[in-house]
Protein backbone atom coordinates (compact mmCIF):
# COMPACT_ATOMS: atom_id res chain seq x y z
CA UNK A 1 0.00 0.00 0.00
CA UNK A 2 2.86 2.43 0.82
CA UNK A 3 4.39 1.83 -2.62
CA UNK A 4 1.07 2.67 -4.28
CA UNK A 5 0.72 5.90 -2.31
CA UNK A 6 4.29 7.11 -2.88
CA UNK A 7 3.81 8.65 -6.36
CA UNK A 8 0.84 10.70 -5.13
CA UNK A 9 2.83 12.02 -2.18
CA UNK A 10 5.78 12.93 -4.41
CA UNK A 11 3.53 14.66 -6.94
CA UNK A 12 1.96 16.78 -4.21
CA UNK A 13 5.40 17.62 -2.83
CA UNK A 14 6.73 18.67 -6.22
CA UNK A 15 3.79 20.78 -7.26
CA UNK A 16 3.83 22.70 -3.99
CA UNK A 17 7.47 23.77 -4.33
CA UNK A 18 7.97 27.23 -5.84
CA UNK A 19 11.22 25.99 -7.33
CA UNK A 20 9.59 23.13 -9.29
CA UNK A 21 9.21 23.88 -13.00
CA UNK A 22 8.25 20.45 -14.29
CA UNK A 23 9.03 19.37 -17.83
CA UNK A 24 11.05 22.30 -19.20
CA UNK A 25 14.29 21.74 -21.09
CA UNK A 26 17.80 22.98 -20.35
CA UNK A 27 17.58 25.87 -22.80
CA UNK A 28 14.32 27.15 -21.32
CA UNK A 29 15.71 26.86 -17.78
CA UNK A 30 18.76 28.92 -18.71
CA UNK A 31 16.63 31.56 -20.40
CA UNK A 32 14.42 31.91 -17.32
CA UNK A 33 17.31 32.05 -14.86
CA UNK A 34 19.29 34.58 -16.90
CA UNK A 35 16.29 36.91 -17.24
CA UNK A 36 16.61 40.31 -15.51
CA UNK A 37 14.29 39.47 -12.61
CA UNK A 38 16.63 36.70 -11.40
CA UNK A 39 20.10 36.96 -9.90
CA UNK A 40 22.93 34.87 -8.48
CA UNK A 41 21.45 32.10 -6.34
CA UNK A 42 18.19 31.79 -8.26
CA UNK A 43 17.39 28.16 -9.02
CA UNK A 44 14.74 25.73 -10.21
CA UNK A 45 14.15 21.98 -10.31
CA UNK A 46 12.99 20.32 -13.53
CA UNK A 47 12.40 16.84 -14.87
CA UNK A 48 15.55 15.35 -16.39
CA UNK A 49 15.56 15.35 -20.19
CA UNK A 50 17.45 12.05 -20.36
CA UNK A 51 15.86 10.21 -17.39
CA UNK A 52 12.16 10.91 -16.88
CA UNK A 53 12.20 9.48 -13.36
CA UNK A 54 14.98 11.83 -12.26
CA UNK A 55 15.39 15.59 -11.87
CA UNK A 56 17.88 18.39 -12.46
CA UNK A 57 18.73 21.43 -10.36
CA UNK A 58 19.47 24.43 -12.57
CA UNK A 59 21.14 27.23 -10.61
CA UNK A 60 22.39 30.64 -11.62
CA UNK A 61 25.80 32.05 -10.81
CA UNK A 62 26.70 35.63 -11.71
CA UNK A 63 26.70 35.09 -15.48
CA UNK A 64 26.15 31.35 -16.04
CA UNK A 65 23.71 28.57 -15.22
CA UNK A 66 24.93 25.27 -13.75
CA UNK A 67 22.99 22.00 -13.87
CA UNK A 68 23.13 19.25 -11.23
CA UNK A 69 21.57 15.85 -11.80
CA UNK A 70 19.34 14.48 -9.03
CA UNK A 71 19.35 10.69 -9.15
CA UNK A 72 17.12 8.09 -7.47
CA UNK A 73 18.38 5.17 -5.42
CA UNK A 74 16.89 1.67 -5.54
CA UNK A 75 14.74 2.55 -2.51
CA UNK A 76 13.51 5.84 -4.01
CA UNK A 77 15.83 8.24 -2.18
CA UNK A 78 17.13 11.37 -3.91
CA UNK A 79 20.82 12.24 -4.22
CA UNK A 80 23.23 14.48 -6.11
CA UNK A 81 26.26 12.82 -4.57
CA UNK A 82 26.20 9.17 -3.54
CA UNK A 83 27.69 10.24 -0.22
CA UNK A 84 24.33 11.50 1.05
CA UNK A 85 20.70 10.89 0.08
CA UNK A 86 17.31 12.27 1.11
CA UNK A 87 13.79 10.94 1.44
CA UNK A 88 12.24 13.92 -0.37
CA UNK A 89 13.29 16.56 -2.88
CA UNK A 90 12.41 19.26 -0.37
CA UNK A 91 14.92 17.84 2.11
CA UNK A 92 17.58 17.68 -0.59
CA UNK A 93 17.00 21.28 -1.64
CA UNK A 94 17.04 22.56 1.94
CA UNK A 95 20.29 20.71 2.60
CA UNK A 96 22.09 22.32 -0.33
CA UNK A 97 20.58 25.70 0.49
CA UNK A 98 22.16 25.44 3.93
CA UNK A 99 25.45 24.08 2.53
CA UNK A 100 26.13 26.11 -0.65
CA UNK A 101 29.85 25.26 -0.81
CA UNK A 102 29.11 21.60 -1.55
CA UNK A 103 27.56 22.36 -4.94
CA UNK A 104 29.77 25.37 -5.48
CA UNK A 105 26.69 27.40 -6.40
CA UNK A 106 24.20 28.87 -3.90
CA UNK A 107 20.48 28.04 -3.97
CA UNK A 108 19.14 31.26 -2.47
CA UNK A 109 15.69 31.75 -3.97
CA UNK A 110 13.38 30.01 -6.46
CA UNK A 111 13.51 31.26 -10.03
CA UNK A 112 10.93 33.95 -10.72
CA UNK A 113 9.10 33.29 -13.95
CA UNK A 114 9.02 36.12 -16.42
CA UNK A 115 5.25 36.04 -16.65
CA UNK A 116 4.91 36.72 -12.92
CA UNK A 117 6.85 39.97 -13.10
CA UNK A 118 6.29 41.05 -16.65
CA UNK A 119 2.86 39.79 -17.63
CA UNK A 120 2.78 42.58 -20.18
CA UNK A 121 1.12 41.37 -23.35
CA UNK A 122 0.04 43.19 -25.45
CA UNK A 123 2.51 45.84 -24.22
CA UNK A 124 5.57 43.88 -25.33
CA UNK A 125 7.28 45.16 -28.50
CA UNK A 126 10.53 44.15 -30.28
CA UNK A 127 13.34 46.48 -29.24
CA UNK A 128 14.28 46.81 -32.92
CA UNK A 129 11.26 49.10 -33.26
CA UNK A 130 12.98 51.75 -31.12
CA UNK A 131 15.89 53.94 -32.20
CA UNK A 132 17.77 55.72 -29.41
CA UNK A 133 18.34 59.40 -30.15
CA UNK A 134 19.97 60.98 -27.11
CA UNK A 135 20.47 60.36 -23.42
CA UNK A 136 18.27 62.58 -21.27
CA UNK A 137 19.76 61.71 -17.91
CA UNK A 138 19.81 59.25 -15.04
CA UNK A 139 16.43 58.24 -13.67
CA UNK A 140 15.34 56.35 -10.58
CA UNK A 141 16.29 53.04 -12.21
CA UNK A 142 19.09 54.01 -14.56
CA UNK A 143 19.41 55.79 -17.88
CA UNK A 144 16.56 57.66 -19.56
CA UNK A 145 16.68 58.19 -23.32
CA UNK A 146 14.79 60.06 -25.98
CA UNK A 147 13.98 57.63 -28.78
CA UNK A 148 11.89 57.19 -31.89
CA UNK A 149 9.29 54.45 -32.19
CA UNK A 150 10.09 53.78 -35.82
CA UNK A 151 6.96 51.85 -36.77
CA UNK A 152 4.80 54.72 -35.53
CA UNK A 153 7.19 57.59 -36.35
CA UNK A 154 6.67 58.80 -32.79
CA UNK A 155 9.09 60.31 -30.28
CA UNK A 156 9.10 58.50 -26.93
CA UNK A 157 11.03 58.28 -23.67
CA UNK A 158 12.74 55.04 -22.68
CA UNK A 159 13.77 54.02 -19.16
CA UNK A 160 16.36 51.27 -19.03
CA UNK A 161 17.08 48.64 -16.41
CA UNK A 162 20.17 46.47 -16.46
CA UNK A 163 20.29 43.03 -14.89
CA UNK A 164 22.53 44.08 -12.02
CA UNK A 165 20.20 46.93 -11.03
CA UNK A 166 19.35 46.48 -7.36
CA UNK A 167 16.00 48.24 -7.65
CA UNK A 168 14.27 45.60 -9.78
CA UNK A 169 11.33 45.23 -7.37
CA UNK A 170 10.61 48.96 -7.54
CA UNK A 171 10.97 48.93 -11.31
CA UNK A 172 8.37 46.17 -11.56
CA UNK A 173 6.01 48.03 -9.23
CA UNK A 174 6.26 51.08 -11.50
CA UNK A 175 5.40 49.02 -14.58
CA UNK A 176 2.35 47.48 -12.94
CA UNK A 177 1.21 50.87 -11.68
CA UNK A 178 1.66 52.50 -15.07
CA UNK A 179 -0.21 49.89 -17.07
CA UNK A 180 -3.29 50.22 -14.88
CA UNK A 181 -3.42 54.02 -14.66
CA UNK A 182 -4.97 56.20 -17.35
CA UNK A 183 -5.26 59.94 -16.84
CA UNK A 184 -4.14 62.93 -18.96
CA UNK A 185 -2.05 64.25 -16.07
CA UNK A 186 -0.13 61.01 -15.49
CA UNK A 187 2.71 59.77 -17.69
CA UNK A 188 1.30 57.04 -19.94
CA UNK A 189 2.91 53.68 -20.57
CA UNK A 190 3.18 52.99 -24.30
CA UNK A 191 5.17 49.77 -24.63
CA UNK A 192 7.75 47.44 -23.04
CA UNK A 193 10.81 45.47 -24.09
CA UNK A 194 11.37 42.87 -21.35
CA UNK A 195 13.00 40.15 -23.45
CA UNK A 196 16.74 40.62 -23.23
CA UNK A 197 18.76 43.41 -21.68
CA UNK A 198 18.44 46.15 -20.83
CA UNK A 199 14.71 46.08 -20.12
CA UNK A 200 12.89 49.07 -21.64
CA UNK A 201 9.88 50.96 -20.29
CA UNK A 202 8.58 53.14 -23.11
CA UNK A 203 6.46 56.14 -22.14
CA UNK A 204 5.31 59.35 -23.74
CA UNK A 205 8.05 61.98 -24.12
CA UNK A 206 7.76 65.28 -22.26
CA UNK A 207 10.00 67.67 -24.16
CA UNK A 208 10.90 70.08 -21.34
CA UNK A 209 12.13 67.45 -18.89
CA UNK A 210 11.54 67.50 -15.16
CA UNK A 211 9.80 70.39 -13.44
CA UNK A 212 12.86 70.80 -11.21
CA UNK A 213 15.21 71.41 -14.14
CA UNK A 214 12.62 73.42 -16.05
CA UNK A 215 12.09 75.90 -13.20
CA UNK A 216 15.85 76.47 -13.06
CA UNK A 217 16.08 77.13 -16.82
CA UNK A 218 15.88 80.63 -18.34
CA UNK A 219 12.39 79.81 -19.63
CA UNK A 220 11.23 78.62 -16.23
CA UNK A 221 12.63 81.58 -14.33
CA UNK A 222 10.33 84.04 -16.08
CA UNK A 223 7.10 82.20 -15.25
CA UNK A 224 4.45 84.26 -13.51
CA UNK A 225 2.39 83.26 -10.49
CA UNK A 226 -0.50 82.50 -12.82
CA UNK A 227 1.70 80.11 -14.80
CA UNK A 228 2.83 78.32 -11.64
CA UNK A 229 -0.75 77.99 -10.35
CA UNK A 230 -1.79 76.53 -13.70
CA UNK A 231 1.01 73.95 -13.52
CA UNK A 232 0.26 73.10 -9.89
CA UNK A 233 -3.39 72.56 -10.77
CA UNK A 234 -2.43 69.91 -13.31
CA UNK A 235 -0.33 68.08 -10.74
CA UNK A 236 -3.26 68.22 -8.32
CA UNK A 237 -5.52 66.65 -10.97
CA UNK A 238 -3.15 63.73 -11.39
CA UNK A 239 -2.77 63.24 -7.64
CA UNK A 240 -6.55 63.39 -7.12
CA UNK A 241 -6.91 60.57 -9.66
CA UNK A 242 -4.41 58.48 -7.68
CA UNK A 243 -6.22 59.23 -4.42
CA UNK A 244 -9.52 58.09 -5.90
CA UNK A 245 -7.85 54.73 -6.60
CA UNK A 246 -6.30 54.51 -3.12
CA UNK A 247 -2.77 54.86 -4.49
CA UNK A 248 -0.10 56.78 -2.57
CA UNK A 249 2.74 58.02 -4.80
CA UNK A 250 5.22 58.37 -1.88
CA UNK A 251 7.84 60.25 -3.90
CA UNK A 252 6.05 63.30 -5.28
CA UNK A 253 8.63 66.00 -5.99
CA UNK A 254 9.53 68.49 -8.72
CA UNK A 255 12.02 65.97 -10.13
CA UNK A 256 9.13 63.53 -10.69
CA UNK A 257 6.88 65.98 -12.52
CA UNK A 258 7.54 66.16 -16.26
CA UNK A 259 6.85 69.22 -18.40
CA UNK A 260 5.81 69.33 -22.04
CA UNK A 261 4.86 72.07 -24.46
CA UNK A 262 2.44 74.82 -23.39
CA UNK A 263 3.32 74.22 -19.72
CA UNK A 264 1.68 70.79 -19.72
CA UNK A 265 2.61 68.86 -16.54
CA UNK A 266 2.32 65.16 -15.75
CA UNK A 267 3.14 63.06 -12.70
CA UNK A 268 5.80 60.39 -13.26
CA UNK A 269 7.96 57.81 -11.44
CA UNK A 270 5.58 55.42 -9.71
CA UNK A 271 8.31 53.09 -8.46
CA UNK A 272 7.50 53.84 -4.82
CA UNK A 273 3.74 53.87 -5.22
CA UNK A 274 1.71 51.81 -2.77
CA UNK A 275 -1.90 50.70 -2.95
CA UNK A 276 -3.75 51.31 0.31
CA UNK A 277 -6.46 48.71 0.97
What does DSSP assign to residue 5? H
Report the number of secondary-structure helices (H) and strands (E) in the chain: 9, 16
The annotation status of 256 as a binding-site residue, yes or no, is yes
Q: Mark 152-184 as b/e (b = at least 16 C-beta within 10 Å).
A: eeeebbbbbbebeeeebebbbbbbbbbeebebe
The annotation status of 269 as a binding-site residue, yes or no, is yes
Cis ω on the peptide bond leading into residue 135 (within 30° of 0)?
no
> C-alpha dihedral over 210, 214, 217, 220, to 10 degrees?
-170
76 within 8 A of 88, measured Cβ to Cβ: no
The annotation status of 25 as a binding-site residue, yes or no, is no
DSSP secondary structure letters along 131-190: EEEEEEEE-SSSEEEEEEETTTTEEEEEEEE-TT-TTHHHHHHHHHHHHT---TTBPPEE
251 in active site: yes
The annotation status of 26 as a binding-site residue, yes or no, is no
Among 108, 119, 165, 251, the one annotated catalytic: 251
Task: Please state the residue numbers annotated as binding site.
Answer: 159, 255-256, 269
Task: Please state the residue numbers annotated as binding site for Mg(2+).
Answer: 256, 269
Residues with a catalytic annotation lie at 251
Task: Please state the residue numbers annotated as binding site for ATP.
Answer: 159, 255
Amino acid sequence: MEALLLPLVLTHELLSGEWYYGNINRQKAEKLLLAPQNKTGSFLVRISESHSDEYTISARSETNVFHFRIQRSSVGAYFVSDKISFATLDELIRYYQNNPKILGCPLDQPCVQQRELFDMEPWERPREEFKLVKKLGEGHFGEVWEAVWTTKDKKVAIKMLKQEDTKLDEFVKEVHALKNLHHPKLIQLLALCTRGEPVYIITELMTKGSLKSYLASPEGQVLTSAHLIYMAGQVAEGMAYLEDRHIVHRDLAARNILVGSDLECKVADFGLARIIK
